[in-house]
Structure 1
Amino acid sequence: MSGIIALFSKQAPISTTALKQGLECLKHRAPDQQQFWISPHQKVGLGQTRLSILERMHGEQPVANRDKTLLIVVNGAFYDCERIPGDLTKWGYRLRSDSDSEMALHLYNEFGTQCLHHLRGEFAFVIWDESNQLLFAARDRLGIKPLYYTFYNDTLYLASEVKALFAAGVPAHWDYESFLQADNGVLTGNRTLFANVYQVPPGYFLLASRYGIQLHRYWDFDYPHLTELQFQKSEEYIEKLRDTLDEAVRLRLRGDVPVGCYLSGGLDSSTILGMATSHQSKPIHAFTVAFDDEAYNEEPIAREMAKQAGAHLHVIPVRQSDLAEHFADAIWHSEMLAVNANTVAKFLLSRAVRDAGYQVVLTGDGSDEIFASYGFFEKDMLRYNSEGQDEQTLKNRREELKRNDNPESSTQALKHIQRTLGFVPAWIEAVFKEHIKSRSFYSPAFMAQFAQHDAYRIFLNQIDIQGQLVGREPVHQSLYLWDKTILPNYLLRRLGDGIEMAHSISARLPFLDHKVVEFV
């Protein structure tokens, strides 16, 4: 819903010009208003460019407490906040507004970094704590909202987009190792394509003081150990899941502007549209892309789903020439490699939503991750998690897999994964196959620099294997690894925030509400 930037220097005064230039670079995200604050000692600066969506978020930012010893800038939204004002009043706080940001600030004052366990939503924020001379920055559990940082000339820079760091004066250089990691599909959630520029990983917070910078994890995916697996009755599980997801949808419908829906025709977006319709008195406006290539065109299905929900459907025609024309723009906003034209299609879809007068949409993104719906995970389940399934069906499906299996999967590049995990996740086999194709794009001189480069060893070295993989089902291990790279860097960046906020569109993802994720 906005773009934020922060600068913190332990000694030298920060540059007002740098803060303003970085903020100006984020204007496309939220053009309604730009505001910034610099501390009296000039060691800290906070800025926000804002999209006015919710009345309770209309207060000026940075939001400060009464004595201005705590200040916050927020990108995103907090949900399920109705109980918080009553609790804060009991604890002695006097709210000056019904701003979500003010509530978050008081929760920090009450609980410190543990305030994150009281917050639900899609967010990235920065708090300056004057009393403790501490900067506290955090990113939501799934990484829906981005937060980048770097340290340059004794100054810490944080921003919603990498390009804002460069606009503020940070030198821009490629990180070639990260580039190859991304091309191999295993760029972890703390890296970017740029040298010395990092992400606050999903589910982490950052603390900065005169003693240095620390990163701490406050949430992670927690797949059950083999000894903890419990099977529930289908009817009971479905009912609880429906209630949990429906609550996530309902919470994301609040606001002072109409909320639309992205609709692809798939089960995920159709489910979200159906649930949203049940909470609205007027027809919802849904938006879908119609490709000129019938093999990829889901318009007929989307029309049927919109009709069933009683929604008003907007169809956005996209030709192959449109994809080519806007490819560079989409990549500039995504700040990530693109292996197909999906990024451009989402860019054009978001532009059409803005042109139709909408600022907020619900999406079905994330359902394939939490339900293991991709074909990769079906392969893993067929290979390693087939207990209780029909034997003949398994035999037939396994024969199909053999005919389509990746012949590259036994190469040296994947042997480290095989040795470490005891198997190679199907999705890693698939992205490795794509990397083999893309090698021809690189010059021999470039590839010679990385002759000994093992992308998958580097990837696994950044994973808590003992804590999060050992003792889990193979399909859960596969999902966890996917969650650490593809989800934050590809789905949520290349197809999410960066592309949607190019047109000031705030997307809300009910499937990635952390309560839904934890239930599943």
Structure 2
Amino acid sequence: MCGIAAILSPDGPVPAQALRRATTALRHRGPDGEGTWIAPSGRAGLGHTLLAITDPEGQQPIASEDGRLHIIHNGQFYDYRRIRASLEARGHRFRTRSDSEIALHLYEDLGPECLERLRGQFAFVIWDEESGVLFAARDRFGLKPLFHAEKEGRLYLASEAKALVAAGIAPSWDSRGVYHALHACPDERLSLFHGISQVPPGHFLQADGSGVRLKRYWDLPLTPGRSRAARFRRAQHPAPTPDAAIERVRELTEESVALRMVAAVPVGCLLSGGLDSSAVLGVAASCTDEAVAAFTVGFERLDYDESTGAREAAAAAGGNHTVVTASDGDLADHFVDAVFHAETLQYNTHGAARYLLSRGVRDAGYKSVLAGEGADEAFFGYEFLRAAAGAARGSGAGALPRVLARLPRIAAALLRSPSRHQPGLAAASPWLARLALLLPAAPSLFTRLARGLGHIRAVCSRDFLDDFAGYDLYRAYYRRCRRTADLSRREPARRLLYLWLHSLFANYHLAADRLDMAHGVEVRLPFLDHHLFEYTNRLPVSLLAHHPREKHLLREAMRPYIPDPVYDRVKRPFMGPSAVGTDGPLHDFLQDTLRGEAVRAVPFLDHPAVARLLDRLPALPAEDRPSLDSLMLMLASVAVLQERYRL
């Protein structure tokens, strides 16, 4: 894991000072080394900061044998030793011991098709001095960030938006990016900063004197549909039995964890005590004779603290367990730094908690840890996915009586007014409000969303909302995904998973990379290995979601690696302490921040409305507190970004 920066200047020399500033801005991502390089032609410059994980002397860029290609890489390629051996057998000579170099030689041989051979979490840039083409790519799920911007005929790329700002991209709010983020539907192509975009997950970028082109190289594969041909294929290749699926999930998880334990430094685990992280720790412990270090964030407020369950899991795996305890004061003191590094809006104090946890990992002498993120996506752990899968059970053969029984409900829903029954939702998206009345799974999911959107829109300026009048962002997002990903051929629950992966998951959950790398800590995610994920994606939804207990398939597959209390434990989302409804440091932080000058400088907020909301907090009804807690922390994030980035 490292930091990378690049500048392409087809018509003139690369500005060396801008490249150095961008690279220096990423020093926290790579505290073990730093350097810049400008091509002999002056058309391209590459910057790199090193976090030494596989090669202590892995300074970059790395050049090909003939010096034509140079690569900078952030992330980790797994199974790289096997690939390296095959490349050496074909005559390639390696300059380093780094996993990064395999991408360089694969690109020499295959061009963009090299991406099909790479397994891992990565963002990299390759410059071809002979052809004048710059090639950049981001991993399949977007685990590693890659931002880009254009200015005065030059293309800038970097691991973080702040590096592009340091290079000279003037920071200002991107109104569309902000609108999407405030409505919990962030766009994977945008950032919060005007003119700064993201290379989307599973895409590569090519640039030369003729322009910049983005192309998708991977997407979550389609599963067989309901056509006659699809039924024939299923008959020829029937779905595995539950026992066979459990065994295969166990094998793939063991392989994924084992590959991620390969490093020149000790590898630990982040541990919550839930099924996912406990399973990763259990498998990791089986890969080594040494005790695996496990790190847990604990909270002084015991109703949020999971450290007791984590201790049980660590003891069962024989791990060395460290609890990093975060008080409300700690969370308040570090919220600003967490937002600055994440470069996104925080909906909960768990961002500050993750920032503090990674600092504790670094202070313990660790650079690399495994974690359990991705299991809820791979194994339908979220209630909204399970609800969608359950609602779709009545759509197969023999379902006519159930469909007929629903017709009165559907007819009644069509006659109801979305603006009256879901006013907060209808104001932002009439399409989604109508859908909420029709879907059986709607009440809990959409009621929470509608309440939150009502609060959000009440504090936005009228001019800002008027700019998006008539723009139904949820419908636009669905239509874009339907067009590019053939959503109509996916099962309803898998459609919802796809929409989740390309919105909040890619743009919010995976922003944790920047919280971890703020302290030079890389986090490896075995459940987001694409071999494992593609396998679970091929399984019938019934195997993943129709058991009364969530993630039953994973629970059974990991049974040999987890203790009984973890096996029996019910899923609990990772949430930090609420900042609303309590006195103390978090409440004081919100009041001070949201009554400050930074909020008054934000162009899209109604500042008197924010002040009125702050005045109402002490008398807030209990049912409004969760959505208002998210709102207040989002507004505090806006204030932090306004001030720290001088927007």
Give your verdict on TM over 0.5.
yes
What pairs with 1:178-197 in structure 2 (closer than 5 Å)? 178-197=177-196
**Contact in 1 for aligned 2:188/2:507 (Cα 8 Å):** yes
Letter of the 2:149 partner, please give it: T
Aligned partners of 1:262 and 1:138: how far apart in 2? Answer: 27
- Equivalent position SS for 1:238: helix
2:303 aligns to what SS in structure 1? Answer: coil
Residue 571 of structure 2 corresponds to none
| CA distance 1:375–1:178, change in 2 (3 Å) | same
Task: Please tell me whether residue 198 in structure 1 is matched to residue 203 in structure 2.
Answer: no
Deviation by residue 1:346-399 (Cα, 9 ceiling, x = unmatched): 0010011111111101000111111121121122223233679xx9xx9xxx9x
Note the C-alpha offset of 1:417: 4.6
Decide which of 401, 408, 416 is 2:431's aligned counterpart.
416
Aligned to 2:132: 133
Are positions 1:318 and 2:307 aligned together? no
1:110-509 map, 5 Å: 110-227=109-226, 228=230, 231-385=239-393, 408=422, 411=426, 413-417=428-432, 430-465=448-483, 467-493=485-511, 496-509=512-525
Would the aligned equivalents of 2:174 and 2:194 in 1 still touch at CA under 8 Å? yes
Post-superposition offset of 1:412: 5.9
Q: What residue identity is the alignment partner of 1:514?
A: H
Matching residue of 1:517: 533
For residue 449 of structure 1, report the CA deviation from its aligned partner: 3.0
Are 1:63 and 2:62 counterparts?
A: yes
Name the stretch that deviates more: 299-308 or 14-23.
Answer: 299-308
Which residues of structure 2 form unaligned runs of 5+? 407-419, 537-647
Displacement of 1:432 in angstroms is: 4.6
The residue type equivalent to 2:127 in the other structure is W
How far the C-alpha of 1:254 sits from its partner, in A, is 1.0
Count of residues paired in the alignment: 503
Cα distance in 1 for partners of 2:105, 2:484 equals 37
Q: Which structure would you say has the larger Rg?
A: 2
**C-alpha distance in 1 between matches for 2:65 and 2:489:** 50
- Distance of 2:395 and 2:242 partners within structure 1: 17
- Relative distance call for 1:415 and 1:511 in structure 2 (3 A) is same
Partner of 1:23: 23
Q: Which amino acid aligns with 2:532?
A: V
**Which has the larger share of helix?**
2
5+ residue gaps, structure 1, are 399-405
Give the whole-Å Cα distance in 1 for the aligned partners of 2:456 and 2:535. Answer: 39
Deviation at residue 430 of structure 1 after TM alignment:
4.5
Change (3 A) 1:441 1:412: closer
Q: Deviation string for 1:17-59 (max 9, x for gaps)?
A: 000001110011111110111012211000100111112x733
Q: 1:466 and 1:354, CA in 2 relative to 1: closer, same or farther beyond 3 A?
A: closer
Aligned to 2:51: 51
Confirm or deny that 1:12 pairs with 2:5: no
Q: Residue 147 of structure 1 contacts residue 158 of structure 1 at CA under 8 Å; is this kept in 2?
A: yes
| AA partner of residue 179 (structure 1) | V
Aligned 8 A contact 1:359 1:505 in 2 = yes
Whole-angstrom distance in 2 between the partners of 1:320 and 1:261? 24
2-structure distance, mates of 1:461, 1:203 = 19
CA displacement 1:431-487 (0-9 Å, x = unmatched): 454222222332334333333332213322432447431132211110010011111
User: Could you tell me how far apart the structure 2 residues matched to 1:414 and 1:477 are?
Assistant: 19
Q: Which amino acid aligns with 1:126?
A: V
- Any idea what SS the aligned residue of 2:489 has? coil
In the alignment, the residues of structure 1 paired with residue 145 and residue 485 of structure 2 have an alpha-carbon distance, to the nearest angstrom, of 25
1:470 is paired with a residue whose SS is helix
Quote the residue 1:402 is aligned against. Answer: none
Deviation at 1:129, TM superposition (A): 0.9
Q: What is the CA distance between 1:425 and its match in structure 2?
A: 7.7
Q: What is the alpha-carbon root mean square deviation over aligned residues? A: 2.4
Residues 430 and 472, structure 2, Cα contact 8 Å, conserved in 1: no
Aligned residue in 2 for 1:101: 100
Q: Which amino acid aligns with 1:411?
A: A
Return 474-483 or 423-432, whichever deviates more. 423-432
Partner secondary structure for residue 287 of structure 1: strand
- 1:139–1:200 contact (8 Å) kept in structure 2: yes
Percent of residue pairs bearing the same amino acid type? 42
Aligned-residue offset at 1:188: 2.1
Letter matched to residue 371 of structure 1:
F
Question: Residues 378 and 170 (structure 1 numbering): CA distance in 2 closer, same or farther, change over 3 Å?
Answer: same
**Counterpart secondary structure, 1:149:** strand
Which amino acid counterpart does residue 476 of structure 2 have in structure 1? I
Q: How far has the Cα of 1:324 moved from its partner?
A: 1.2
Give the CA deviation at 1:319.
Answer: 1.3
Change (3 A) 1:272 1:381: same
Q: Secondary structure at the match of 2:464?
A: helix
**1:22 touches 1:164 (CA, 8 Å); kept in 2?**
yes
Shift in CA distance, 462/432, structure 1 to aligned 2, threshold 3 Å: farther
**Counterpart AA for 1:23:** T
One-letter identity of the residue aligned with 2:16: T
Q: 1:254 to 1:429 in 2, by over 3 A?
A: farther
**Amino acid corresponding to residue 219 of structure 1 in structure 2:** W
State the distance in 2 between where 1:182 and 1:374 align: 21
The answer as to whether partners of 1:185 and 1:432 remain within 8 angstroms in 2 is no
TM-score normalized with structure 2 length:
0.74
Q: Which moved more, 1:79-88 or 1:422-431?
A: 422-431
Q: Distance in 1 between matches of 2:142 and 2:449?
A: 22
In 2, the alpha carbon distance for the partners of 1:375 and 1:112 equals: 42
